[in-house]
Amino acid sequence: MFFHVVNKNKIILFALILGIAILFLSFNNSRLGIIGYADKHCQKNTACLIDINKITPFDWDKMYIIDKGMKPEDIENIIGATFNEKASLFYKIIFVRDKKVVYSDEYRPSDESYEKKFIKPNFHYPVERKGDYFSHYAVSKNNSILSVEIEHKPLVSDKVYYKISPSNVQQVKGRDT
């Protein structure tokens, strides 16, 4: 009888650990999803369009890409939901559903990481024009296409950058004008 209880507890513990691992991997799928999708469907050094609906494994109403250095209360004003994370110096991608954050992630600069592939949000629209800076983009489910350019300069670095930008002016928010 004792061995039966021990085996049952081990099975429950194993199932719990496996469930947490699967949940962690599915949430990390947004970062890897953008990179994986772009690797499969886009050419290097050429802009292409990706539909965020196709690569997110969860339901959402709006996706926000927020520039680095914003305070949590500023982020809450932008996304219209409670945001309980600390302020940081990194870019954020936040998904909201029914005024609740369902997914959030930070993207660190490449020089601080051992990783080789990086998402790099572009906060200029039209791309790289001086004076057209904005603080965030808002992407809705019915306007979910982003522009992605895979930037790889093997003679300069072994790192690959996935520069994401708004695909249209309706996604641009928070302009400094």
Evaluate the CA torsion angle 15, 16, 22, 23 in order and state its sign.
positive
Report the share of the chain in percent with pLDDT over 70: 69
| Residue-wise pLDDT tens digits, 43-83 | 888 889 999 988 888 899 999 888 877 888 888 988 999 98
- Kindly report the pTM of this predicted structure: 0.70
Higher pLDDT, 133 or 87: 87
Higher pLDDT, 63 or 115: 63
Check residue 156 and report its DSSP letter: T
Give Cα 167 distance to the centre of its chain: 16
Residue 4 has pLDDT above 60, yes or no: no
The per-residue b/e assignment along 43-71, b for 16 or more CB within 10 angstroms, e otherwise, is eeeeeeebebeebbeeebebbbbbbbebe
- The torsion angle over the Cα atoms of residues 74, 80, 84 and 86, rounded to 10 degrees, is -20
Query: What is the structure's pLDDT at 28?
Result: 44
The pLDDT mean for the chain works out to 76
Residue 103 has pLDDT above 70, yes or no: yes
Give Cα 17 distance to the centre of its chain: 25
SS3 state at 49: strand
Query: What is the structure's pLDDT at 177?
Result: 35
- Confidence bin at 36 (pLDDT 50/70/90): confident
Pairing state between β 91-97 and 145-152: unpaired
Q: State the average pLDDT over residues 1-7.
A: 55
In the chain, what are the domain boundaries? 2-175
